[in-house]
Amino acid sequence: MTVKERERQSTAAAATRRAGPGREALFAVGGAVLAAAILAIFGLTLPANSYLLFSGFLLFLFTTQSLAWNLVGGYGGQTSFGHATFYGIGAYTTALLQENAGLHPVLALLAGALGAAVFSVIWGYPLFRLRGFYFAIATIGIAEATRLVALSPLRELTGGASGFRMSTAGAGGRTSQYMTALALVLATFLTSYWVRNSKLGLGLFALNMDPEAAETLGVDTTRLKAISLALSAFIVGLTGGIYARAFLYINPNDVFAFSVSIAMVLMSVIGGVGTLIGPILGAVIYVVIQDQLGAAQITFRGQTFQFRDVQLGLYGLLLALIILFEPAGLVGLFQRVAGRFRRRGGTQAVAEQQALLRNETGDE
């Protein structure tokens, strides 16, 4: 890979990292204010509006997944198209332990998350030898394999194609589900912020930009990738368990679906892969699109197109456009626009600098 290519690839990771310590602190304060505002708006109005309650619940789950995917896919640059496997394992482990073994719901949730993390370590180590494209393909294989195993050989346990139904006992009301998801998304945001500024984060950014250079400097790249994948899997596993407890019905074709994996990639890429805020922006946009267009259809020359049927194609197109024109997603776009405004304000300074440069080189 040439230096140019490496620089291009890492622009995304750098998008919000170029900030000095002051700017980072601003992000933290901004994040806290945003979180407080979300709590105030959604938290205080929650009993009054049950539609908002449910939409909020979904938004928080998706945002959590997007942030969690970004830990390994963004910071570490290990593009996984197989995160559905963690979602499904979390959902099924939680549901089965709670229903069949009578485990306490909270313990069942944690067991589901732990199961997903352990599973990630088992296939993560061999797969991390693969780079880029090959790793991405392999993750699709893993997720599809787990779906098929859950669907057929484990039919007795998972309910196969007809799914698995849970009793309503211990499901908790909409309010408690909402609060659980809210707490999880805030915790995930803080985790993401912490990783970004930690030794782990620095190592991930380094191996993302240049694995060979990172290894020469003592970074155990395989270990860091495995740690970040396990952390990511743990969080996504939690969202699976929470989903199962909220809907009381899970099906291998739903929870292990390829579209679940794709959604996580999409949200991060739309918002800005490798950035702190990007995955949140991406999740909001994705959820709004799904919510507004989920049932939309268009009739063209007597043929009716359902959004549901063409969405993967549309998202694919969007993905391609973003990767081509703005690899740092919305965050990159905002920064570019902000940079242009700042430059317009600073034309005076630029002119002075150019004059200085001309004098130095003796060029009239």
- By the criterion CB under 8 A, which residues form the site for another protein? 3, 6-7, 10-11, 13-14, 17-18, 20, 199, 202-203, 205-206, 209-210, 212-221
Residue among 296, 270, 229, 198 at smallest CA distance from 82: 229
DSSP letters for 182-216: HHHHHHHHHHHHHHHTSHHHHHHHHHHH-HHHHHH
How far is residue 304 CA from its own chain's centroid? 33
Smaller CB separation from another protein, 18 or 344: 18
Place of tokens 């589900």: 177
CB of 206 vs another protein, minimal distance in Å = 5
Distance CA 255, CA 253 (A): 6
CB of 196 vs another protein, minimal distance in Å = 12
Distance CA 258, CA 340 (A): 39
Smaller CB separation from another protein, 241 or 272: 272
CB of 22 vs another protein, minimal distance in Å = 11
CB of 217 vs another protein, minimal distance in Å = 4
Q: Specify the amino acid at residue 309.
A: D
Q: Specify the amino acid at residue 148.
A: L
Smaller CB separation from another protein, 202 or 285: 202
Smaller CB separation from another protein, 82 or 332: 332
CB of 215 vs another protein, minimal distance in Å = 4
Contact at 8 Å (CB) between 53 and 59?
no
CB of 221 vs another protein, minimal distance in Å = 7
Could you tell me the CA-to-CA distances from 307 to 132, 284, 332 in Å, in that order? 31, 19, 28
Smaller CB separation from another protein, 201 or 271: 201
Smaller CB separation from another protein, 59 or 204: 204
CB of 323 vs another protein, minimal distance in Å = 17
CB of 333 vs another protein, minimal distance in Å = 17
Distance CA 84, CA 80 (A): 10
> Cβ neighbours of residue 70 under 8 Å, at least 6 residues apart?
192, 268, 273, 274, 275, 278, 279
> Residue 325 — left, alpha, or beta (φ > 0 → left; ψ -120 to 50 → alpha)?
alpha
Smaller CB separation from another protein, 173 or 218: 218
Smaller CB separation from another protein, 31 or 77: 77
CA atoms within 13 A on the CB side of 274: 26
